[in-house]
Amino acid sequence: MDERTLITTFFARPQDRRADIILGIGDDAALLRPEPGFALVVATDSIAEGTHFPAGIPAAAVGHRSLAVNLSDVAAMSAEPRWFSLALSLPGADPAWVGGFATGLFSLADRHGVVLIGGDTVRGPLGATVTVLGQVKPDRAVRRTGARPGDGIWVTGNPGDAVAGRLLLAEANEGPDAAALRQRFLYPEPRVQEGRALAGIASAMLDVSDGLADDLGKLLAASGVGAELDAEVLPLSAELQRLQTARAVACALTGGDDYELCFTLRPADAGRLREVSAHWSVPVTRIGTVVPGSGARWRLHGQPLAVSDSTYRHF
């Protein structure tokens, strides 16, 4: 299958024609029509076999993950995702694999109303680079720099599940707990609606992709503040606690790929958070407080907890 046939067969969809897309797939570049008064939000991430996902996982999961990681970044800015481009590297043009990849990719794209507007396909090691473009009112974008002493620190969902799921890919455990955790790694759910709901409420925010402790440290450094946190209140899932009893807290603090949102909140806005989160499908949990100074101080059962720096580093 040549490149043009691959693109027209799997990625050019008539249903993706929209008024905000002047020109999409098929030319040298796309032409878009953002809404007046909105700022453009751009996020790019690459995923590569052997680094971000092991060989042999379903092609649909690779397609889903390639888009999910970027939707999560846009969600962390409280923005609305609108369009995306895809650069796909393939060792060979296997129609069955590419069809599965496209199924996973577009299933997630359609749920969030984002449209593929172009990209590239090349022969090379298996991997994908996606760029998501979105829009947000400039005064509604939530950045990492707005945390202030006294703010609460909150996290959505159940951090730690994804890394436990990745570890279970190599095991033969077929129980329901293992299946649920594997699903959390293979098909992470970006918190797009939750992120948009936090516009005007969260004082600072980022997504949890490299591990909760490491990512929170980036937010604290950007805001020039410190934090006191209680690991005992981490929202650990029942599945994680049953299968990783001794390591559940470590998974939650240092495991990556959760794509949850970690954000800070002024005390006066706690009521607004309760109102908007009442309609969410995931829990939201306060895990600490922003304090003057720098760095994060974790405690477990009242005792200081040292968090190992085990985040994966590319270089």
Question: What's the order of all strands across the beta sheet hosting 80-90?
Answer: 39-48, 127-136, 80-90, 115-123
Measured in degrees and rounded to the nearest 5, phi and psi for residue 268 equal: -70, -15
Measured in degrees and rounded to the nearest 5, phi and psi for residue 294 equal: -150, 155
Determine the pLDDT at residue 26. Answer: 86
Residues 6+ apart with CB under 8 A from 260: 155, 156, 157, 158, 159, 191, 207, 208, 212, 282
Give percent of the chain above pLDDT 70. Answer: 98
Question: What digits encode the pLDDT tens for the residues 224-250?
Answer: 999 999 999 999 999 999 999 999 999
- State mean pLDDT over 159-169: 96
Contact between 43 and 66 under an 8 Å Cβ cutoff? The reply is: no
Determine the pLDDT at residue 313. Answer: 65
Give percent of the chain above pLDDT 90. Answer: 89
Contact between 315 and 189 under an 8 Å Cβ cutoff? The reply is: no
At residue 86, what is the residue type?
L
Q: How far is CA 137 from CA 148, 241, 283, in A?
A: 23, 40, 27
Pick the CATH number of 142-305 from 3.40.50.1000, 3.90.650.10, 3.30.70.580, 3.40.190.10: 3.90.650.10
Confidence of residue 47 (pLDDT cuts 50, 70, 90): very high
Q: How far is CA 124 from CA 139, 194, 197, in A?
A: 42, 36, 40
**In whole numbers, what is the pLDDT of the chain averaged over residues?**
95
Secondary structure of residue 273 in the 3-state scheme: helix
- State mean pLDDT over 21-27: 92
| First-to-last C-alpha distance (Å) of the chain | 36
- Cα-Cα-Cα-Cα torsion 258, 259, 265, 271, nearest 10 degrees, comes to -90
**Are domains 3-139 and 142-305 of this chain identical in fold?**
no
CA distance 112 to 80: 9
Question: What digits encode the pLDDT tens for the residues 58-90?
Answer: 999 999 999 999 999 999 999 999 999 999 999
Helices (H), 49-94: 59-75
CA distance 87 to 81: 18
User: Nearest 5 degrees, angle CA 121-CA 188-CA 234?
Assistant: 145
pTM: 0.94
Residue 166 has pLDDT above 80, yes or no: yes
CATH code of domain 3-139 = 3.30.1330.10
Beta-bridge partner residues of 132: 43, 84
CA distance 105 to 96: 14
- State mean pLDDT over 178-201: 97
- What DSSP letter does each residue of 183-249 carry, written as one string? HHHHS----HHHHHHTTTTEEEEEEESS-HHHHHHHHHHHHT-EEEEEGGG----HHHHHHSTTTHH
Measured in degrees and rounded to the nearest 5, phi and psi for residue 193 equal: -65, -40
Of 284, 135, 110, 121, residue with least CA distance to 201: 284
Residue 315 has pLDDT above 70, yes or no: no
Question: What digits encode the pLDDT tens for the residues 212-228?
Answer: 999 999 999 999 999 99
The residues spanned by each domain of the chain are 3-139, 142-305
Note every long-range contact of 275-278, with CB atoms under 8 Å and residues 24 or more positions apart, other chains counting: 276/197, 276/198, 276/201, 277/194, 277/197
Confidence of residue 93 (pLDDT cuts 50, 70, 90): confident
